[in-house]
Amino acid sequence: MTDDSILRMAAIAAVLAASSGGEDPGQIGRRLGEAWAQDQRRINMGLSSLMHKRSARSTWK
């Protein structure tokens, strides 16, 4: 391999590493979101509030 091709491969690898270092935009919708958003979703689905869920005791004893 020539020095030119090695440098080209190194540059391509550096660009790919830098561009994939951030968050995947496709995964944004999988985050839970803010507490108020979680609470509104729970209430709209007919579940208890987030405050009640967080303060409930664990059943796994």
Q: What is the largest CA-CA distance in the chain?
A: 66
pLDDT for position 40: 92
Residue 31 tokens, joined: 């985050």
Please report where in the chains the tokens 């108020």 appear, as a residue: 36
What digits encode the pLDDT tens for the residues 45-55?
Answer: 999 988 888 88
pTM value surpassing 0.75 = no
pLDDT for position 61: 60
Cα 35 to the center of its chain, rounded Å: 16
Per-residue pLDDT tens listing for the chain (61 residues): 788 999 999 999 988 877 766 667 777 778 888 999 999 999 999 999 888 888 887 776 6
pLDDT for position 57: 77
